[in-house]
Structure 1
Amino acid sequence: MIDPVILQQGSDWRAQAEVFDEIFFVFLALGTLVGTIVVAYTLWNVYKYRDDGNRSDEDFDAPVVGELPTGQGGPKAKKLFLSFGLSAIVVISLVVYAYGLLLYVEQGPDDGTEGDIEIMVEGYQYGWAYEYPNGHTERGELIVPADQRIDLNITSRDVWHNFGSSDLRIKSDAIPGDHSETWFAVSSEDVEAQGGEATYRVECFELCGPGHSQMKSQVTVIPQDEWEEWYASTGNSSESASVQPAGAGLTAHSGVSA
């Protein structure tokens, strides 16, 4: 099993989007390679064993109904068991590899620090509300820092919704009276590539009413120092809402205000 610790990059963690992109690339590359080999071998056999009219029936070693290959019955059986063995190795390796990465995506990174930011997300017909640890609430836009894991605690005010972003590779149910959790992270390199501010579209992936198609939002990722300055200006000063550096610890608020 793949230890999630190997997914660290220094003090940072790999984003879900990077993990899913890697899984897709590995399956695509290996599937293309195996498919090319299988098709090429099949075509070679079609050509080699074609009926050119010069082969007698006595030379044809036809399979017998009910015959089970034992691995010792000549070249045919050995080739069969070799192909089964190689296929089993490839499939089992892929399952172990993908399962380890998907466990990391499901459980999220845990490096023992208290620096993760947990944000409450509440869906309603037809929008999204975000509440930060200091009680500040944003509607329609989630503003977060780069190079930091963002934990989302998701629920709904009215009917079933589904909070998701295709670009960030996150998707989680929003159920009235219940909470689901997911996380994401965006690197500063991705933010710089988008001109210093990265934006990702959020949609509802659960049919929730006539306004479902308009239930959109946005995740905005900005550099850490800019986010700290923005965050310090939000919330109630009596609640000691000043932001702390990454690693200092931010705890979740009890819920999203109506």
Structure 2
Amino acid sequence: MVTDLVLTAAFPLQSGLVPRGTREFVFESIFEVFLLLGTLVGVVVVGYMLYNAYRYRSGSGNGHVDDENRLVLGELPSGSGGGRKLFTSFFMSMVIVVSLVSWTYLTLLYVEDGPADDDSLDVAVEGYQFGWRFTYPNGHTTDGVLRVPADRPVQLTITTADVFHNFGITELRVKSDAIPGQETETWFTADEPGTYTAQCYELCGVGHSYMSAEVIVMPPDEYEAWYANTTAENATADNATTDSATANESNLRPAVVP
């Protein structure tokens, strides 16, 4: 019995009904399915309403009831098919809703767990007022700049050195809390090179609006060449750029009067 349930639940995964890929692709698939079903249901409901409005319009003669056949208080109507229309509509609605909820749940499970890929890049993310620090597997640390390869899963372990923060990359559909004393995990895969912006989405102080970082997605060979030249001691190139940008931003920040 348990085996049958496991096989039944695994069928959508094996058949490809549940989308797999980058987070952007998965969330776009969910949006498209909801949009398609919502449009279909809307067309059916509005179409049926307009059909009945036209069929029973004034002067058509349809739906006219003479005094002899008019119902009296307490009398049940007849000729409605014994409630078949109501049962059919309820059953179809139940099937659609249960199927949609089950499919969405299986899809979001994949988003939560991430792809099973042993070749993923693990990066530790630490938030602080008001910036982001990234530590790579070899101990190399950068402030304000995260470099990752394209077409490779990136696993992020996120925490904070002070108050609550929230690490998010809108374009890559990534968002996770940074909680003091705790670690949260999330992942993403960028399918093509480019530069994105990581932002803090938790109000964390007067410099919250300036708490951002660059996410540079590099071609795999360029990333490997860059990573090969990094160690725990030479975290200077990206940090120098970030320190310069931070200094420029600090000049724009309003003065805080204690």
Bin of the TM-score, shorter chain as denominator length: 0.7 to 0.9
Per-residue deviation, residues 96-139 of structure 1 (Å, max 9, x unmatched): 1111110000011115xx31111000011111110000111111
- Residue by residue over 1:167-215, the C-alpha shift from the partner in whole angstroms, topping out at 9 and shown as x without a partner, is 111110001110000000012xx33xxxxxx112111111111111111
Unaligned runs of 5+ in 2: 1-8, 234-258
Who is 1:34 aligned against?
41
Partner of 1:138: 142
Number of residue-to-residue matches in the alignment = 221
Percent identity over the alignment is 48
Matched, 1:23 2:30: yes
C-alpha root-mean-square deviation of aligned residues, in Å? 2.9
CA distance in 2 between counterparts of 1:76 and 1:46 reads 23
Deviation (angstroms), 1:216: 1.2
Written as runs of structure 1 = structure 2, the 5 A alignment for 1:40-79 is: 40-52=47-59, 54=61, 55-58=64-67, 74-75=80-81, 77-79=83-85
Aligned pairs for 1:60-139 within 5 A: 74-75=80-81, 77-111=83-117, 114-139=118-143
Aligned residue identity for 1:202: A
SS at match of 1:52: coil
More helix by share: 2
Where does residue 240 of structure 1 map in the other structure?
A: none
The C-alpha deviation readout for 1:205-228, integer Å capped at 9, x for no partner, is 111111111111121111111000
TM-score after normalising by structure 2: 0.77
Instruction: Give 1:130's aligned amino acid.
Output: F
CA distance in 1, matches of 2:40, 2:27: 20
Name which structure has the greater RCO, CA cutoff 8 Å, separation 6+: 1
Asked if the contact 1:204/1:215 (under 8 Å) is kept, the reply is: yes
With normalisation by structure 1, the TM-score equals 0.77
Which one of 180, 184, 187 corresponds to residue 184 of structure 2? 180
CA change 1:103–1:206 in 2 (3 A) is same
Secondary structure of 1:176's counterpart equals coil
Higher Cα Rg, which structure: 2
Structure 1 segments unaligned to the other structure (5+ residues): 192-197, 238-258
Deviant stretches of 4+, over 2 Å: 1-9, 49-67, 72-76
* Cα 1:233/1:53, change in 2 over 3 Å: closer
